[in-house]
């Protein structure tokens, strides 16, 4: 059984640019959640995708957007990058969108905005 | 509003016990516990559900007081591998809201 994978591992961008991060969910999982983790803090919920539809969103501006594909893999897009967007971006997949399901995290993408 | 974890940091000797607490001001459906080592992804430890059901790690125990909206994670006979940052996350719908973390260091 393949776990959650993310790409790329590291990324350096400059302010104002756009970035796309990718996540492949664990086999059999139809739900992907995205989190932003700043240094020394807990993960902050960005949004969740369930069966290709956005299924909940945290307190993030519209320049954070996402997609989920028919194979349940997902993308996180961030437009007009700001310095504060520098963080570890984690995706987590779960069997369903139920709040009682375990979320399994990928290794993350470290984004640095200069 | 994120759950509050205590203590913020703890240092143990191998073999000692520790308790990490997590409290929330919101009504909870479930509490999720994760451990994250430096530079790695959070690893699932335990889910506690309303009604007392638990799912998770054999060697780690936890409790969930639904009335007080509090959860505690019990680490007994700590090992060096227990070092890391522990996060509780509460689920009051379909999103996990994590606390700020408890940094645990186990020394030989």
Contacts of B100 in chain A (CB under 8 A): 41-42
The pLDDT value recorded for residue B24 is 87
- Kindly state the average pLDDT of the residues A66-73: 94
- Among A52, A50, A48, A47, which Cα is nearest to A64's? A47
User: Do the beta carbons of residue A45 and residue B97 sit within 8 Å?
Assistant: yes
Element (H, E) at A73: none
- In this structure, the number of other CB atoms found within 10 A of the CB of residue B98 comes to 23
Q: Does A30 contact B at CB distance below 8 Å?
A: no
- In this structure, the number of other CB atoms found within 10 A of the CB of residue B23 comes to 17
CA distances from A25 to A1, A38, B8, B33, B81 (A): 11, 23, 32, 20, 27
- Kindly state the average pLDDT of the residues A8-22: 97
- Among B88, B69, B70, which Cα is nearest to B27's? B69
The pLDDT value recorded for residue A101 is 84
The pLDDT value recorded for residue B68 is 84
CA distance B85 to chain A (A): 9
The pLDDT value recorded for residue B55 is 66
- Kindly state the average pLDDT of the residues B50-75: 80
Residue A25, φ and ψ in degrees, nearest 5: -75, 165
Residue A83, φ and ψ in degrees, nearest 5: -60, -35
Contacts of A56 in chain B (CB under 8 A): 93-95
Mutate to test the interface with B, among A9, A38, A99 (most CBs of B within 10 A): A99
What pLDDT, in 10s, does the model give residues B35-47?
999 989 999 998 9
B94 with A108: Cβ contact below 8 A = no
CA distance A5 to chain B (A): 11
Q: Report the first-to-last Cα separation within chain B, whole angstroms.
A: 37
Better pLDDT: A52 or B28: A52
Q: Does A97 contact B at CB distance below 8 Å?
A: yes
Dihedral (CA of B26, B97, B33, A98) sign: positive
What pLDDT, in 10s, does the model give residues A43-61?
999 999 999 999 999 999 9
């Amino acid at each position: 059984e393949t776990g959650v994978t993310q790409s790329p591992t590291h990324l350096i961008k400059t302010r104002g640019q756009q970035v796309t991060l990718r996540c492949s969910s664990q086999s059999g999982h139809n739900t992907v959640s995205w989190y932003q983790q700043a240094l020394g803090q807990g993960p902050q919920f960005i949004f969740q995708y369930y069966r290709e539809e956005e299924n909940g969103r945290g307190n993030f501006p519209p320049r954070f957007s996402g997609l989920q594909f028919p194979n349940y893999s997902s993308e996180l897009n961030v437009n007009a990058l700001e310095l504060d967007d520098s963080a570890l971006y984690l995706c987590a997949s779960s069997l369903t969108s139920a709040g009682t399901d375990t979320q399994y995290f990928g290794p993350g993408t470290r984004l640095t905005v200069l | 509003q994120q759950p509050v974890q205590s203590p913020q940091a703890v240092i143990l000797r191998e073999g000692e016990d520790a308790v990490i607490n997590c409290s929330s001001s919101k009504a909870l459906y479930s509490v999720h516990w994760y451990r994250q080592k430096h530079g790695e992804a959070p690893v699932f430890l335990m889910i506690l559900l309303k009604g007392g059901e638990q799912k998770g790690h054999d060697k780690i125990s936890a409790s969930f007081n639904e009335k007080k909206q509090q959860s505690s994670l019990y680490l007994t006979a700590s090992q060096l591998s227990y070092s890391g940052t522990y996060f509780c996350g509460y689920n009051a719908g379909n999103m996990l809201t994590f606390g700020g973390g408890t940094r645990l260091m186990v020394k030989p």
